[in-house]
Structure 1
């Protein structure tokens, strides 16, 4: 009788140990599953956050983009058959933040945020001096805002002048002007001068 009781107690102890091991294994599975779920959720949230940041950054750059707002005008003020100034009107492409157009000329030389570059088949001129005319309803400050049009004027292009080109811009010459802004796409304007250089030329 005692042997039967002892055998029964041993069986109960073994059953208890087996149940405890099973519970420990189940708890371990639950913990691992929770950690895995947290990791996946965190990765998803991080990915969503990065995607949101990328979209916001792209939108901000798009809103900071410039576009032409009219004809590109070249002038030969001294009638020597070479272009000595180019003017291009610009405005914001979308309703973005105001853009600082402090000119690179006169008392504000070197304080400009917008950089203008000239290129043709024989030369590359970086960071030209330029001035700005506020057209239409634009106010007097140097911030290009919604519905405003600024005319960028690049003067003194003839050899020996302030922005003097190594080779003067004459007839039937293709050139490229880049307007580089602090944040956003570069505005590139490519034009070709006509076969006859006049005092005022519409290059559109």
Structure 2
């Protein structure tokens, strides 16, 4: 009789230990699942913020050209002006030169034209409250003076400034990369140029 009681007690102890171990394991699994779900939610939220912070061009590029009386291959794009606004994401973007980087690429070279160390590009508020934050309903003017580019600092370095300029029938690419959010990539093929100032 005592032997049966002892066996039953041992079985009960083993069963309780098994239940406790199973509960602890289930808690660990559920906790890891919750952490994974939180990480996925964080990634999705960050991606949504990035996509909603994208910039949009509000106009075509207005170009200023030199040597317009010569042949097309000698005509140079010396200045470009365009306007930007927020996309439908409506996430404000800081347009200060310490928060944003603008690059310029033509068929021969590539360079940074807007950051804390360059004076090639200027960004001014056209419609807004006067600060550097581009917000809903605001518009900023971007002016790029290609004559201010140092031909020795482009990649690769150029011996002739004409190689830094973009000419008719060539493509140029301007990228605006905010500190957060999607970048704005502007690609244009310059058409035949007949006047000093022309949109394209």
Q: Which runs of 5+ in 1 are unaligned?
A: 1-11, 103-110
Asked whether the equivalents of residues 77 and 167 of structure 2 are also in contact (C-alpha less than 8 Å), the reply is yes
2:140 is aligned to 150
Give the number of aligned pairs.
179
2:35 to 27, 30, 46: 46
TM-score w.r.t. the length of structure 2 is: 0.81
Structure-1-length-normalised TM-score: 0.79
Matched, 1:56 2:45: yes
User: 2:92 corresponds to which residue?
Assistant: 98
Q: Distance in 1 between matches of 2:64 and 2:14?
A: 86
> In the alignment, is the contact (CA less than 8 A) between 2:68 and 2:193 conserved in 1?
no
Higher radius of gyration, 1 or 2: 1
The alignment status of 1:198 with 2:198, answered yes or no, reads no
User: For residue 25 of structure 2, what is the aligned residue in structure 1?
Assistant: 36
Deviations 1:156-199 (A, max 9, x none): x1xxx322554122211111111111111221110011122522
C-alpha root-mean-square deviation of aligned residues, in Å?
2.0
Residue 154 of structure 1 and its aligned partner are, at CA, apart by 0.6
SS of the aligned residue for 2:59 comes to: coil
CA 149–27 in structure 1, closer or farther in 2 if over 3 Å, else same: same
Take 1:123 and 1:25, find their aligned partners in 2: how far apart are those partners?
A: 75
The answer to whether the 8 A contact 1:171-1:196 is kept is yes
Matched ranges for 1:108-119 at <5 A: 111-119=97-105
What is residue 108 of structure 2 aligned with on the other side? 122
SS for the counterpart of 1:126 is strand
Q: Could you say which structure has the higher strand fraction?
A: 2
